[in-house]
């Protein structure tokens, strides 16, 4: 008997030695040999379970611990180990049950209270968890890990200040524990103290230079602070430490996407997917990147990949809907938004997007219903209020529109689109005092002023601004519109530099004597100027009321006269016919369709006597020209050698060669108006109607030679074109 006991002791000591040295297979074999000799020895059974825990064979560990407990139900440590294993395999209820048993056996067991608190958190019993953490802390007052867990729980309960206090207490106890600084940075970020969060992350990384989560989160914080290049360096550092760190590639891609470096962003999303082929969020973000690149079909392919991985991915359905809206596949878009809502009935953004889609379909009442659903879910949803205001605008419920723009601004004072859209309503009705002030929000929120060019003009008279730089902005037509004011400043009393599109340089240089015309290629040093702003800010000085428009010149730009004469010779070809220039469409992605006129509507003009027609439409297709000739009986002349999009100087001369112009709302009318050419402008009755044509004006206040003909109903161009036809018959000379 003594011999067996000595033998067992020898085996036990040998097994213990193997165990301590990490030779777990040998230790396990010896423990099991001992168990055969001593089947009721609880210590041996617990050690076998311990080895199984260490080699991560957790189900085997559970079996051996249960065997031990069956022999002795008073083992607090066995229940503690069993609870920890169930926690590890995410069986939270079983975990909680075992920690309860530990506490019943040992009411002062700090670890049991702490671990039970963790299990309660997993079961979303946050307040109960806090009670356990606080009791554990009462048993071990200087335990910084308990304070850390109390702080993280308080942060999850949105009790941020209480959380920060507990982090601070924990750091006073141990200022060398990196996770304390990391966790505190997470809470600081939630209270928008990003700079303080950055300081904590620096401390965490200083304590542990290989702390990947801290390096990664530091990059996220730098991104929020718009320190993008530094963020990218951080992420590259994380990737260098761990080339398989999937989140670093993903976050790097998101920053590159913000920087509009789309190809690089996609490459990094794809690297994340190479590491984790089931990374649905990365496929979704490739989709959003393609969406920004206006490659909507490619975006949809990637949204569908995300959905294949996660059929409950509401955001991917929502994003797919947005891409389909861009492709004008409105019914398909709504189906996808509704799928997102089926998954998440509280998805306010999806309701908002259904609203914008109905808005595109001109189903304005349906749009409003869905905006209101979004607002019901999230009463703080400023964007939904702004979109509702936009729809009210299309319905010509202007007071309601202004009310909802104000509501959006109240919720989000930096929402520059709401200020801008409200200003456009005021300008549309010639309320210039209110309009020009908020029109400055076209640059974005005040802190985002374009290229740091100061916009303090509202406080001064233009004569007080000294040397002025007018920077380029908006499209060719807008540049021409605002140039209508320059003649008032084109004298020796002002020193003005005007930046404009390369294509307008010869026209503007020909038309102004004292204003210096430049392009971005030869932009001067802006520090040499006393003040600067966009050219669209000029009306804030010079057109403060309707009376000021009496100063408008009928003709304020000059074409190349030699080209004009040559074009007239080509077009008239010794005939005495009047020359009518025609243009019919806009390439504007958002509102071009509303502004464009179906060619069949121009057939009425074929009855004009003694008239020849010339194409002034940029990027007109051969099919369009043939349609006018064959279907509308308009034998239109198309000068193929003239690039009407890039050679604006020649387009000016061609327009000047015409006797009158009939056009939709595009660059043609601006050119014709600037040349004082008799023009008949056709504008829509919905969102394609630009503010500067103003309501209740049948003649442009910007271009006195331009008469305005507005649709009575959406998409019906026959009535306004009939009115144009009759007006031409009355006014034009056909001799």
Query: pTM of this prediction?
Result: 0.80
Residue 183 pLDDT? 96
Is 432's pLDDT higher than 50? yes
Average pLDDT value for residue range 278-291: 97
Handedness of CA 164, 165, 166, 172 (dihedral sign): positive
Q: Which contiguous run of DSSP H or E holds residue 388? A: helix 382-394
Helix residue ranges, H only, 38-159? 42-54, 58-71, 76-88, 92-105, 110-122, 126-139, 144-156
371 HSE (CA, 13 A, CB side): 24
Nearest partner of 250 among 229, 226, 225, 276, judged by Cα = 276
Neighbouring residues of 274: CB distance < 8 A, sequence distance ≥ 6: none
Strand pairing report for 660-664 and 679-683: parallel
Is 4's pLDDT higher than 80? no
Confidence grade of residue 456 (pLDDT, cut at 50, 70, 90): low
CA distance 492 to 523: 21
Is 483's pLDDT higher than 90? yes
Q: In the CATH scheme, what is the homologous superfamily, with its name and number, of domain 561-731? A: Glycogen Phosphorylase B; (3.40.50.2000)
Is 447's pLDDT higher than 60? no
The CATH class, in words, for 449-551 is: alpha beta
Nearest partner of 234 among 250, 248, 254, judged by Cα = 248
Q: What is the largest CA-CA distance in the chain?
A: 137
Do residues 268 and 252 make contact, with C-beta atoms less than 8 angstroms apart? yes
Residue 457 pLDDT? 52
Residue 450 pLDDT? 42
Is 472's pLDDT higher than 90? yes
CA distance 110 to 102: 10
Q: Which residues of 359-380 are buried (b: 16+ CB within 10 A; e: fewer)?
A: bbbebbebbbebbebbbebbee
* Second-level CATH architecture of 346-447: Alpha Horseshoe (1.25)
Is 507's pLDDT higher than 90? yes
C-beta atoms surrounding 412 within 10 Å: 18
CA distance 710 to 595: 11
Q: Which of 443-447, 618-622, 650-654 is least confident?
A: 443-447
Residue 465 pLDDT? 86
The answer to whether the 449-551 and 561-731 domains have the same CATH topology is yes
Average pLDDT value for residue range 432-443: 90
The token pair at 610 is 């003694």
C-beta atoms surrounding 142 within 10 Å: 12
Rounded to the nearest integer, the mean pLDDT of the chain is 93
Is 471's pLDDT higher than 70? yes
Confidence grade of residue 446 (pLDDT, cut at 50, 70, 90): low
CA distance 501 to 515: 15
Confidence grade of residue 548 (pLDDT, cut at 50, 70, 90): very high
The token pair at 68 is 């031990």
CA distance to 279, 343, 356, 369, 389, per residue, from 364 (Å) = 38, 26, 9, 9, 11
Is 453's pLDDT higher than 60? no
The token pair at 306 is 């995300």
**Would you list the domain boundaries of the chain?**
346-447, 449-551, 561-731
Specify which of 20-29, 312-321, 457-466 reaches the highest per-range mean pLDDT. 312-321
Do residues 677 and 655 make contact, with C-beta atoms less than 8 angstroms apart? yes
The residue whose two tokens read 């060719």 is 476
Do residues 639 and 657 make contact, with C-beta atoms less than 8 angstroms apart? no
CA distance to 155, 190, 719, per residue, from 126 (Å) = 11, 19, 68
Confidence grade of residue 454 (pLDDT, cut at 50, 70, 90): very low
Partners of 468 in the β-ladder: 496, 531
Residue 492 pLDDT? 87
Quick one: what percent of the chain has pLDDT higher than 70? Answer: 97
């Amino acid at each position: 008997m003594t011999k067996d006991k000595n033998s067992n002791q020898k085996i036990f000591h040998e097994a213990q030695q193997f165990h301590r040295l990490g030779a777990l297979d040998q230790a396990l074999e010896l423990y099991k040999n001992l168990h055969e000799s001593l089947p009721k020895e609880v210590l041996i059974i617990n050690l076998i379970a311990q080895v199984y825990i260490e080699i991560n064979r957790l189900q085997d560990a559970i079996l051996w611990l249960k065997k031990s407990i069956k022999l002795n139900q008073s083992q607090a440590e066995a229940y503690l180990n069993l609870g920890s294993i169930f926690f590890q395999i995410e069986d939270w209820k079983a975990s909680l049950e075992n920690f309860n048993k530990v506490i019943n056996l040992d009411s002062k067991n700090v670890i049991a209270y702490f671990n039970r608190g963790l299990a309660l958190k997993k079961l979303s019993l946050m307040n109960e968890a806090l009670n356990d953490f606080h009791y554990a802390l009462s048993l071990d007052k200087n335990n910084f890990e308990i304070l850390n867990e109390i702080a993280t729980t308080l942060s999850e309960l949105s009790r941020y200040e209480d959380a920060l206090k507990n982090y601070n207490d924990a750091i006073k106890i141990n200022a060398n524990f990196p996770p304390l600084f990391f966790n505190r940075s997470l809470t600081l970020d939630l209270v928008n103290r990003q700079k303080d969060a950055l300081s904590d992350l620096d401390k965490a990384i200083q304590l542990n230079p290989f702390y990947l989560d801290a390096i990664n989160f530091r990059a996220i914080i730098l991104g929020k602070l718009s320190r993008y290049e530094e963020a990218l360096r951080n992420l590259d550092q994380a990737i260098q430490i761990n080339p398989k760190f999937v989140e670093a590639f993903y976050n790097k891609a998101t920053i590159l996407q913000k920087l509009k470096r789309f190809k690089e962003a996609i490459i990094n999303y794809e690297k994340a997917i190479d590491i984790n082929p089931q990374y649905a969020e990365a496929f979704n973000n490739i989709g959003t990147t393609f969406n920004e690149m206006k490659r909507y079909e490619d975006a949809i392919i990637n949204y569908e990949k995300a959905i294949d991985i996660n059929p409950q991915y509401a955001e991917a359905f929502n994003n797919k809907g947005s891409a389909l809206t861009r492709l004008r596949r409105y019914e398909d878009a709504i189906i996808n938004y509704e799928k997102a809502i089926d998954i998440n009935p509280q998805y306010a953004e999806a309701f908002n997007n259904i609203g914008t889609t109905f808005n595109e379909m001109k189903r304005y009442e349906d749009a409003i219903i869905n905006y209101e659903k979004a607002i019901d879910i999230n009463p703080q949803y400023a964007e939904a209020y702004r979109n509702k205001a936009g729809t009210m605008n299309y319905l010509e419920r202007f007071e309601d529109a202004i009310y909802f723009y104000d509501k959006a601004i109240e919720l989000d004072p930096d929402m520059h689109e709401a200020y801008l859209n409200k200003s456009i309503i005021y300008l549309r009705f010639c309320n210039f005092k209110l309009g020009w002030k908020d029109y400055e929000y076209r640059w974005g929120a005040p802190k985002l002023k374009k290229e740091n060019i100061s916009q303090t003009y509202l406080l001064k008279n233009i004569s007080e601004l000294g040397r002025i730089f007018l920077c380029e902005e908006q499209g060719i037509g807008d540049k021409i519109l605002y140039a209508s004011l320059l003649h008032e400043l084109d004298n020796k009393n002002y020193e003005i530099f005007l930046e404009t599109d390369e294509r307008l340089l010869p026209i503007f240089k020909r038309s102004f004597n004292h204003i210096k015309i430049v392009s971005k290629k030869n932009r001067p040093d802006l520090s040499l100027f006393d003040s600067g702003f966009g050219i669209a800010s000029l009306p804030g000085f010079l057109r403060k009321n309707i009376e000021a428009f009496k100063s408008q010149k009928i003709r304020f730009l000059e074409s190349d006269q030699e080209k004009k004469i040559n074009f007239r010779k080509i077009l008239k070809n010794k005939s005495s016919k009047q020359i009518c220039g025609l243009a019919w469409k806009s390439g504007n992605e958002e509102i071009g369709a509303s502004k464009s006129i179906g060619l069949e509507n121009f057939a009425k003009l074929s009855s004009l006597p003694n008239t020849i027609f010339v194409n002034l439409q940029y990027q007109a297709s051969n099919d369009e020209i043939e349609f006018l000739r064959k279907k509308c009986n308009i034998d239109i002349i198309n000068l193929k050698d003239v690039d009407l999009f890039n050679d604006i100087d020649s387009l000016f001369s061609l327009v000047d060669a015409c006797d009158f112009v009939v056009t939709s709302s595009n660059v043609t009318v601006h050119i014709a108006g600037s040349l004082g050419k008799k023009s008949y402008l056709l504008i829509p009755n919905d969102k394609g109607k630009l503010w500067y044509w103003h309501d209740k004006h049948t003649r442009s206040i910007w271009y006195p030679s331009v008469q305005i003909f507005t649709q009575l109903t959406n998409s019906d161009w026959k009535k306004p074109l009939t009115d144009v036809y009759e007006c031409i018959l009355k006014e034009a000379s056909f001799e």
